[in-house]
Amino acid sequence: MIEELKKLQVKLFADGADLAGMLEMYSKPYIQGLTTNPTLMKKAGITNYEKFARDVLLRISDKPISFEVFSDDLNEMVIQAIKISSWGSNVYVKIPITNTQGISTLPIIETLTQENIKINVTAIMTVDQVKEISIALNSAVPSYVSVFAGRISDTGVNPIPTMIEILQVLASNKNAEVIWASPRELLNVFQANEIGCHIITATNDILTKLKLLGKDLTEYSLETVEMFHNDAVSAGYSI
């Protein structure tokens, strides 16, 4: 597995909100950063946003990590972003591309990056959105652009042409890195790598499949047959 990972140019980020799981992934040298979001935090049972984030940052201070604003008001988003950014030098603040009313957040993206706040623009799914973002970003400040390739593929559309075009749009901004977000399978890691995507962020259930890299498929086939057989026996099935 390690040799296969060494061949990758794309950076692997871990996406989650379970502290134990985050720390497990953080401890692995091939995980170069972490991301989370309010939905993952809710699923993990997080009730105190700031306490959770600060607890994470006490343990993870040397790899980039993204925390998201959650206000629907643009002015309040700015206030939240400034506060979140103050929690650590490795923090990127996730800003959704619009609020729930479809109002663009481009003005506050421009404001925040002019204040040298590192941001992660999230929930992106179109090239046009990225073209607008490219104008608002401060090229002197590191930023991430999270494109939800997995959700694009959920609609029956191949996300790769979109991802390639987005990489081209941002090519002149050397401080802007494109994240392949919401991957659906481990194969997406290699697809992201092949097109030159900077980062892919994946949940632990996908990242744990890295142990399968290079696995002999004949052996894997036999293990699958054994699983079906053992489950049938343990269930006591008969015909």
Catalytic residues: 94
Residue 200 CA to its chain's centroid (Å): 6
**Separation of alpha carbons 53 and 99, rounded Å:** 22
Residue pair 42/63 in contact (Cβ under 8 Å)? The answer is no
Residue pair 183/149 in contact (Cβ under 8 Å)? The answer is yes
CB neighbour list of residue 123: distance below 8 Å, 6 or more residues apart:
96, 97, 98, 146, 148
**Separation of alpha carbons 105 and 96, rounded Å:** 7
**Separation of alpha carbons 220 and 22, rounded Å:** 28
CB neighbour list of residue 48: distance below 8 Å, 6 or more residues apart:
none
CB neighbour list of residue 38: distance below 8 Å, 6 or more residues apart:
49, 68, 70
